[in-house]
Amino acid sequence: MVAYRTSMQIVRDLLTVTEESGMNGINVTSLLTKANLSHSRLSKFVDNLTGAGLINKIEFDGKNTFVITPKGKQYLQTYERFQSLADSFGLDL
């Protein structure tokens, strides 16, 4: 049986990959590959994440680069703490 990721897990993956890219940010192609998402799904998540202020989209020469914001880092840390708590009770998120 294939285990699918929840929306929260996809958000975590996107924020983690974006954070690991550092201050230079990550381009769309790398984000697609590392987060293992189709372009249409990525677009929806990116719109939500930029709207919530968790990542910033930087446009330069017609190309988009994404950088995690301090709010995004805080969300990621809180998610990881909650994941750890849920794991200690044997719960799957």
Predicted confidence (pLDDT) per residue in 63-76, tens digit:
999 999 999 999 99
pTM exceeds 0.75: yes
In the chain, where does DSSP find H-type helix?
Answer: 7-20, 28-35, 39-51, 70-88
pLDDT at 66 (0 to 100): 96
Is the per-residue pLDDT at 43 higher than 80? yes
pLDDT at 61 (0 to 100): 82
Residue 26 bridge partners (DSSP): 66
Q: Is 49 part of a structural domain of the chain?
A: yes
CATH number where 37 lies: 1.10.10.10
Is the per-residue pLDDT at 93 higher than 80? no
Give the domain range for residue 76: 7-88
Q: Is 93 part of a structural domain of the chain?
A: no
Q: Is 40 part of a structural domain of the chain?
A: yes
Q: Is 21 part of a structural domain of the chain?
A: yes
- The mean per-residue pLDDT over the stretch 39-50 comes to 96
